[in-house]
């Protein structure tokens, strides 16, 4: 695979602003472990190899267990996720692939029982950001692992 356009080089200011926006979310109310799971699940759903590769390596560096990473795709059947994590993953799926009639009340109620209003808003922004990254990286065919050294992801030792 060859990257179609180097969007970072073509729009460095927009790239920096978007990175800054995403970094601002790191100070939000959603814990890193859930952000990692959300980034992985949305990237799986969107078929974004670049982001999936990146976020699995980040989660590994954050101390996530390998089996849980393998189970993200089957989170409904897995016993490895807490109710809070399950609610976040359900919300991720609902906002990543919007149903014709919007987000079902049952999904909203599930997330509402596990997260505060502030956390739901913060989680929604996390989901918006990963979906945007997925779209630009899928569109321009960013090569998985191509920025590992620049982002320090080579330290995950997963190559």
- Residue spans of the domains in the chain: they are 16-149
Neighbouring residues of 131: CB distance < 8 A, sequence distance ≥ 6: 42, 46, 95, 96
| Whole-number pLDDT of residue 59 | 98
Of the chain, the end-to-end C-alpha distance in Å amounts to 17
Question: What is the pTM (predicted TM-score) of this model?
Answer: 0.94
Topology (CATH level 3) of domain 16-149: AhpD-like (1.20.1290)
pLDDT in tens, 30-79: 999 999 999 999 999 999 999 999 999 999 999 999 999 999 999 999 99
Lowest mean pLDDT among 16-20, 136-140, 143-147: 143-147
């Amino acid at each position: 695979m060859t990257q179609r356009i180097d969007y970072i080089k073509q729009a460095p200011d927009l790239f920096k602003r978007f990175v800054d926006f995403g970094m601002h979310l790191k100070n939000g109310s959603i814990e890193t472990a859930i952000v990692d799971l959300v980034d992985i699940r949305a990237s799986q759903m969107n078929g974004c190899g670049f982001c999936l590769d990146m976020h699995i390596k980040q989660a590994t560096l954050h101390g996530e267990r390998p089996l849980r990473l393998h189970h993200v795709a089957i989170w409904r059947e897995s016993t490895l996720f807490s109710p809070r994590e399950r609610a976040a993953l359900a919300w991720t799926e609902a906002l990543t692939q919007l149903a014709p009639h919007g987000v079902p009340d049952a999904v909203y109620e599930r997330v509402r029982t596990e997260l505060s209003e502030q956390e739901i808003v913060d989680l929604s922004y996390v989901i918006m950001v990963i979906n945007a990254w997925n779209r630009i990286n899928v569109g321009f065919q960013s090569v998985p692992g191509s920025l590992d050294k620049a982002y320090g992801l080579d330290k995950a030792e997963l190559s």
